């Protein structure tokens, strides 16, 4: 997505917090501010079994839901989320190149650069189509954003609902060489504009938690 990482840090919206964690429900996420890059991905609340989720549907489009808010990683460095996809993209487009920079599901986490916008950095956790799980690479449009394939390939079951956990402080150190104590923006995005394709995904709640142990 062209300039997606830089654009995400320009948006703002409030959310609620708890004493020792910070949680956003699917209804909260649906109220995040939309940001459109190419056409519009449709986001709506839907049920996944007994659980609520945000259902995302794209058709040659790319838009996301964005929250700009300072989140204290000294207190809650671990992010947990649930997601699922209908399927992955077919074809041989390289996800590390612009023509393949589409993902049925992705989450952004952004650290702003203060008075120096060029110091802004982001991590994108994605459900990749071809790159193996555990692979990582610079975003095709800007090295300031780094892609991490948390999942890869078709879901093992229809819709493939799974829960993930990552330590954001560790990952910003690993992929950007930064010791940070906060992030400034969070977003979800299902995009398929570069491939002129279609995709569907589901996002559950997003929680920020203290480090275990």
Q: What count of other Cβ atoms lies within 10 Å of the Cβ of residue 23? A: 16
Cα–Cα distance measured from residue 25 to residue 169, given in angstroms and rounded to the nearest whole number: 23
d(CA 139, CA 124): 9
Looking at 8-12, 35-39, 68-72, 202-206, which range is the least confident one?
8-12
pLDDT 10s digits, 34-87: 999 999 999 999 988 888 999 999 999 999 999 999 999 999 999 999 999 999
Take residue 144 and report the two structure tokens written for it: 């300031």
Report whether pLDDT(33) > 50.
Answer: yes
Query: Using CA atoms, how far apart are residues 121 and 73, in angstroms rounded to an integer?
Result: 15
Quote the tokens at residue 51. Answer: 């659980």
In the chain, the domains with their CATH numbers are: 4-209 (2.60.120)
State the DSSP code for 118: G
Q: What is the pLDDT of residue 14?
A: 32
CA dihedral (125, 128, 133, 137) positive or negative: negative
Q: How far apart, in whole angstroms, are the C-alpha atoms of residue 144 and residue 118?
A: 8
Give the Cβ contact number of residue 115 at 10 Å.
6
Count Cβ atoms below 10 Å from residue 133 Cβ, excluding itself. 12
Alpha-carbon distance 84 to 166, whole Å? 17
Cα–Cα distance measured from residue 140 to residue 52, given in angstroms and rounded to the nearest whole number: 33
- For 112-146, write each residue's pLDDT tens digit: 987 777 789 999 999 999 999 999 999 999 999 99
Cα→Cα distances 28→16, 45, 75, 90, 203, Å = 9, 10, 21, 32, 12
> Tens of pLDDT along 156-182?
876 778 999 999 999 999 999 999 999
Are 48 and 84 contacting, i.e. CB atoms less than 8 angstroms apart? Answer: yes
């Amino acid at each position: 997505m062209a300039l997606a990482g830089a654009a995400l840090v320009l948006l703002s919206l409030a959310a609620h917090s708890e004493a020792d964690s910070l949680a956003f429900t699917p209804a909260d996420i649906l109220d995040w501010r939309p940001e459109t890059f190419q056409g519009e991905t449709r986001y709506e609340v839907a049920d996944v079994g007994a659980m609520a989720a945000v259902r995302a549907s794209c058709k040659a489009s790319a838009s996301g839901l964005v929250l700009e808010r300072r989140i204290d990683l000294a207190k809650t460095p671990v992010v947990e989320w649930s997601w699922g996809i209908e399927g992955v993209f077919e074809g041989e487009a390289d996800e590390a190149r612009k023509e393949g920079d589409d993902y049925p599901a992705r989450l952004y986490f952004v650290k702003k650069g203060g008075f120096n916008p060029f110091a802004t950095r982001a991590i994108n956790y994605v459900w990749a189509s071809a790159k193996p799980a555990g692979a990582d690479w610079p975003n095709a449009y800007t090295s300031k954003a780094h892609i991490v394939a948390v999942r890869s390939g078709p879901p093992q079951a229809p819709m493939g609902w799974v829960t993930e956990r990552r330590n954001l402080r560790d990952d910003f150190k690993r992929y950007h060489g930064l010791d940070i104590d906060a992030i400034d923006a969070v977003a979800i995005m299902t995009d398929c504009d570069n491939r002129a394709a279609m995709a569907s995904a589901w996002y559950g709640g997003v929680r920020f938690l203290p480090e275990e142990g």
